[in-house]
Amino acid sequence: MHNPIIITGGTQRLGLAIAESLHKNGHEVVVTYRKVKACHEDLANKGIELVQADFSTQQGIDGFIQHIKQRYPRLRGIIHNASDWAAESGNSDPSELFMRMMQIHASAPYQLNLAFQSLLIQDDGVTDIIHMTDYVQEKGSKKHIAYAASKAALHSLTLSFAASLAPKVKVNSIAPALLMFNDHDTEDYKQKALKKSLLEICPGAQEAVKAVNFLLDSDYVTGRTIHLDGGRQLK
């Protein structure tokens, strides 16, 4: 096929679920990772290509762009899922934290979209860029200020690239709130978190998988955001 879907940060949580689903549905898949994880051998055995890329550095971005351009003549899509959920703290350097959040969540997708524009257009059909943003892009965050700002920047990139790459490339966002708990989350935290949405559930990674499949299958959606928040905006 040689027209894969790229998933950045595709070896854990939402990214991993999306990668496995797309591969099962017959897509060629390339995933990026920062650190080796237990799932890597299984993904490789399935035929999913794994590429080490640290998008917090310019070298990591440039190296990944070069690798893809040398290996693939065209792309079916890009799903920008790589993320770093860093919070402000008394020990953090505000300048370094802000620049890192912007580098990973805004600068890297911006550069990859521009670099791979020609590969997306070379595909026979309409192709897709999907930005994984966040519920906090619209309301901000008291504990993750730089993170929220960088996700808002990524949302803005959705609008700009949707306009500039149409009609050949559809560009959309998926903005999750709570989809998965972490292993270390306490029961008290879980109960408080569930109460923040109208539906009061934690639906799991498959909710993001369904949204990705909808956007890939759609012929008429671009420049939009799918909000996966259980009605949280109404609480």
| Residues noted as catalytic | 147
Q: How far is CA 5 from CA 77, 136, 230, in A?
A: 5, 27, 28
Phi/psi of residue 119, each to 5°? -70, -35
What is d(CA 202, CA 57) in angstroms, rounded to the nearest whole number?
33
Structure tokens at 119: 């590969």
What is d(CA 151, CA 101) in angstroms, rounded to the nearest whole number?
9
What is d(CA 7, CA 24) in angstroms, rounded to the nearest whole number?
15
Q: For residue 128, count other CB atoms closer than 10 A to its CB.
A: 24
The dihedral built from the CA positions of residue 162, 168, 169 and 170, taken in this order, carries a sign that is positive
What is d(CA 10, CA 235) in angstroms, rounded to the nearest whole number?
32
72: enclosing H helix or E strand: none
Between strands 169-176 and 225-228, the pairing is parallel
